[in-house]
Amino acid sequence: MKNFKAKIIENKQVAPQIYNLKFEAPKLAAEAKPGQFVEALCKGSGAPFLRRPFGVHMADTKSGVCEILFRIAGRGTELLSQMSAGDFLDITGPLGNDFEINKGKKHFIAGGGMGIAPLLFLAKAIWQTGEQAKIFLAAKTAADIARLDIFKNFGEVILSTEDGSLGEKCLIDTPLERALKTEQNAALYACGPRPMLRCVAELGAKYQTPTQVSLEEKMACGMGVCQGCPVEVKNKDTKYKMVCKDGPVFNAEDIVW
């Protein structure tokens, strides 16, 4: 874990209220793994005191450039959206653990809403092993799905929206279960709202598919000190683990849903 100032290269709106921010961070790009996150300090009038966590959306070791993808959800992210190329962002990271790629499996990636943010980096990592993933992306409406063109570079993309404006009109479990029924050697990786992750975990258990989930949680310190992001787990030694320190990636079967 390191704290540093990163120069912003680009801060671009890629969907309504959704921004993709690129910044120079060679050491972070070299060290970060899919599933890990950073904590950013949002500065400006009315800025929140605590840092905000963001999954590493992409990291390029050659260029030393990293990216985060975020939606404006409050004053902190509003201020972050107003930053421009040439500004410096106060970053701490990489933090947390990462996804373990199950080599030799058929990789199914499932992302809901802004849960897609850390999954592009994972899709690229799988692609770099010489394998490809089926990428299931879901949201309420088409406007909520960002970076679709980039996801398509790393695997087959299956889309679903609640209003039917893009892809199939359904929740993510419908196409995902169809795929699991026909594939006996799959591995599941997911990030999104807790109800979605619970559903994905149930499908993983039903089809005996190893399932890793990245939990979305408010993580104030990012290091487990503040004890503000507990998740109940099936563990004889401890009832709770901290999402920031022990996660954010967990085996789905270990979580008390």
Per DSSP, the three-state class of 138 is: strand
Cα separations (Å) of 50 from 58, 161, 220? 24, 33, 6
Residue keyed to tokens 């390191």: 2
The pLDDT of residue 50 is 85
Q: 133-139 and 58-60 as β-strands: parallel, antiparallel, unpaired?
A: unpaired
User: Residue 174 belongs to what H/E stretch?
Assistant: helix 173-182
**From CA 84, how far away is CA 250, in angstroms rounded?**
35
Q: Is the pTM of the predicted complex or chain greater than 0.85? A: yes
Q: Is the peptide bond before 230 cis (omega within 30 degrees of 0)?
A: no
Cα separations (Å) of 132 from 59, 75, 109, 145? 18, 38, 10, 21
CATH for 2-95, among 3.30.2010.30, 3.40.190.10, 2.40.10.220, 2.40.30.10?
2.40.30.10
Per the structure block, which two tokens stand in for 77? 């992210």
Check: CB of residue 19 under 8 Å from CB of residue 13: yes
**From CA 10, how far away is CA 148, in angstroms rounded?**
19
| Per-residue pLDDT of the chain in tens (257 residues, 90 and over written 9) | 689 999 999 999 999 999 999 999 999 999 999 999 999 999 888 888 889 999 999 999 999 999 999 999 999 999 999 999 999 999 999 999 999 999 999 999 999 999 999 999 999 999 999 998 999 999 999 999 999 999 999 999 999 999 999 999 999 999 999 999 999 899 999 999 999 999 999 999 999 999 999 998 888 788 888 888 999 999 878 899 999 999 999 999 999 99
The pLDDT of residue 1 is 63
**From CA 227, how far away is CA 237, in angstroms rounded?**
17
Q: 155-161 and 133-139 as β-strands: parallel, antiparallel, unpaired?
A: parallel
**From CA 111, how far away is CA 247, in angstroms rounded?**
17
The structural domains of the chain, with segments of one domain joined by +, span 2-95, 106-216
Domain 106-216, second-level architecture: 3-Layer(aba) Sandwich (3.40)
